[in-house]
Chains A and B, each alone.
Chain A
Amino acid sequence: MYKEESFERSLKQKVDEYRMYPSNQSWSNIQKELRKTNRSFNYKAIGLTIILLTGFSIYLSNHQQTNQKSTVAALIQSDIAIVSAFEQTSNSTFQPVQKAEKRRTLTFRNTNNPESSSEIIQNLVETSAINTEVPELINQNQNSSVQTNNAEDVTDLKKLEMVTNNYEPTSKSQLPDLKDGPEQKLSQLTTTNVVAETLITDEPSSAKTDAELNYEVNIPVVIKKKEVKKLVMYITPSSSYRVLYADNKFTFRNFPQLDPENAVTHTPSLGFEAGASILLPITKRIKFRTGAQFNYTSYNVNAFSAAPQLTTITLNYSTSQRITVLGNFNGYITRKVQNETYQLSIPVGFEVNLAGNKKVTWEMGLNLQPTYLLKASGYMLTNDYKNYIKAPDLMSRLNLNTGLETFIRWNAGKFQLQAGPQLRYQLYSNGKNILPVKEHLVDYGFRFGIIKPLR
């Protein structure tokens, strides 16, 4: 149609000689865009580090508190040993006269003076949230007896938790008999233990005589708070993606050197997870968890619109031919499609308390999630990597996911709240086993939850 030296050819030669030099800003913008992905991963890493450091600091502070309490407990246990020594020298017998329902405090009365046995002096020590109390000596005949009677003492008493874990009388014979009044022995206590001194300050002079006749000892008994079942409701926005690899059972003659990860252009997209689960305490630190969960996952496939063509997928012992209009490497124009899945799963796993106190705890959870695939768009890469086919029928309906998470849980009135990162990975390939390219979904999420105790 055209001469050899055609219009097009010479025009092309001419314009190809032309050069234009872009501004410096262009390269900066390209660099920024290229580093954006890496930066987002850096932010995730920083966020995770902060959470881990916070958890570690909580753990450390908790550890220090425990040490302090252990020291106090050791001191008080020595006092209890002294009190126990009374048993050997006293003719008195003790019997429990009251077990306060809420205060969890046993009161023992000296039965040498039966007249005073009808009256029980109220224990000034209020039950703390820790559910522990400290030993207390009460002179029944005197209001100003040997007892804690001011706020500071109460505070000190609260610090003395764990004291009587091992001190619970089992029979009368084990109860302390006092021959002499407690005053003498109490003075021994005060010289023995500075902490215990706060229990017996401002002792009135009249207490000496009265105490010889009759006194009561309130010995707290720690009743462990029963762990309760909890209902957890949660939602997890996530960044969904996938891991691709080629099954060695299949031959990729055309691309023997090509990893499917390098042959495609995929980008992560947003997904989410919502569910409810029951927490069942196993030990103080470990809880069993199970429930129901819905997941939506999605990632972008950057492909090309191409002319309809027949493609072949090699399955295990057969081939399947499909018509597709999606090219992987080339086509008329670029086209972005989303590989979506809708899943229902039953997570079964454990939560472990790593650190924390009554208000804030740091937990870690691990679970397995038998999963049923409700619906999927099902874009799959062909054997030669040249095309995508839409084949939801080749996707496996049943699968198994695993979840790993760490989070902070804190009290918020009647409820507890939790927040923390989680990783969800699909253990088996998205497609059926017969497919050559294996695809495992992965979700990087941040879970928010609300916890309600069940009675």
Chain B
Amino acid sequence: MTEEAILQGCLKNQPPAQQELYSRYSPKMLAVCYRFARNREDAEDMLQEGFIRVFTQIHQFQSKGSFEGWIRRIIVHTCINHLKKHKRFNESVDITQAHGVQVREDSVPSIIQVKQVIECIRMLPIGYRTVLNLFAIEGYSHREIAGMLDIEESTSRSQYTRSKAMLEKILVQKRIILQPRIQGEWVAAAHPRF
């Protein structure tokens, strides 16, 4: 079934088209939710909530951008709302952990396994993790993030800086990467501790 056929079917509330859309995009979207969520159950809740919104608001899709991108934006917003609703942002953030860690603006070694990186991201405090997800992975600007999370733009920037530093520290601790000795280069550890 083509994407256009799925879209038309969903506009007519046809269950087969809805199921096809869900089957096609849910694995990717669950991974998105998982990065924001505290656990898998929360991630599935976010996914369900997000897809319900996708199906009920599908008539608002204007075919100007990619369909997947539109779904992804809805899923991300749903995740943010879910976190706000459950007051996840009130959880304490240990900012001191990030102090003293030098931030590198370098690439992640390609040999690092995806799942390991995701698990490290999920180890970040919820505030850091959310900003990192939104800025580094979802591509939102700090201004947009500030609006979404009801924080100052500068706060978003500083949180991102600290989250990157903390992520690096975690990656080192978990021996996913070695403490970099050469500027601008991370080296994957041989035996990551996962």
Contact = CB atoms under 8 A, between A and B. Distances in A.
B27 interface: yes
Contact of B22 (A19, A30, A262): A30
Given A7-B105, A10-B110, A26 B26 contact: yes
Interface stretch (A147-155, A328-336, A393-401): A328-336
A119 interface: no
A317 B83 CA distance: 47
A23 B81 CA distance: 22
For the complex, would chain B's binding face be called helix, strand, loop or mixed by DSSP majority? helix
B105 A19 contact: no
A18 interface: yes
Interface in A1-42: 1-3, 5-12, 14-23, 25-27, 29-31, 33-34
A12 B137 contact: yes
A185 to B, nearest CB: 78
A329 B110 CA distance: 38
B118 A18 contact: yes
Interface residues of B, number: 50
B31 interface: yes
A263 interface: yes
A310 interface: no
Interface in B81-112: 81, 84, 104-108, 110, 112
A167 to B, nearest CB: 67
Contacts of B56: 34, 265
A307 interface: yes
Interface string A255-279: 0000000110100000000000000
B5 to A, nearest CB: 19
Contacts, number: 113
Interface string B45-65: 001100110011101100000
A23 B144 CA distance: 32
B44 A26 contact: yes
Nearest to B115: A18
A33 B107 contact: no
A8 B135 contact: yes
Interface in A321-343: 329, 331-334
A307 B77 contact: no
A10 B112 CA distance: 11
Interface string B19-31: 1001000111011
A11 B48 contact: no
B108 A20 contact: no
A335 to B, nearest CB: 10
A329 B60 contact: yes
Contact of B27 (A12, A19, A331): A19
A142 B114 CA distance: 114
Contacts of A333: 77, 80-81, 84, 147-148, 150
B180 interface: no
A30 B51 contact: yes
Contacts of A18: 31, 114-115, 118
A20 B48 contact: no
B27 A31 contact: no
Contacts of B55: 30, 34
Most B CB within 10 A of own CB, among A10, A14, A19, A333: A14
B18 interface: yes
B128 interface: no
B31 A7 contact: no
Contacts of B104: 7
A131 B70 CA distance: 74
Contacts of A20: 27, 30-31, 34, 40, 43
A21 B30 CA distance: 7
Interface string A227-263: 0000000000000000000000000000000000011
A3 B105 contact: yes
Interface string B146-178: 011010000000000000100000000000000
B137 A11 contact: yes
B15 A31 contact: yes
A5 B107 CA distance: 6
A307 B141 CA distance: 15
B137 A15 contact: yes
B136 A11 contact: yes
Contacts of A331: 147
B35 interface: yes
A62 B41 CA distance: 60
A332 B84 CA distance: 13
Contacts of A6: 105, 107
16 contacts: A7-B104, A7-B106, A10-B108, A14-B108, A14-B110, A14-B117, A15-B118, A15-B137, A18-B115, A19-B28, A20-B27, A22-B44, A26-B47, A33-B48, A332-B147, A333-B150
In order of increasing CB-CB distance, the 9 nearest A-B pairs are: A332-B147, A8-B136, A19-B27, A262-B59, A20-B30, A10-B107, A5-B107, A18-B31, A10-B108
Given A14-B108, A14-B110, 6 more contacts: A7-B108, A15-B114, A18-B114, A21-B27, A332-B147, A333-B84
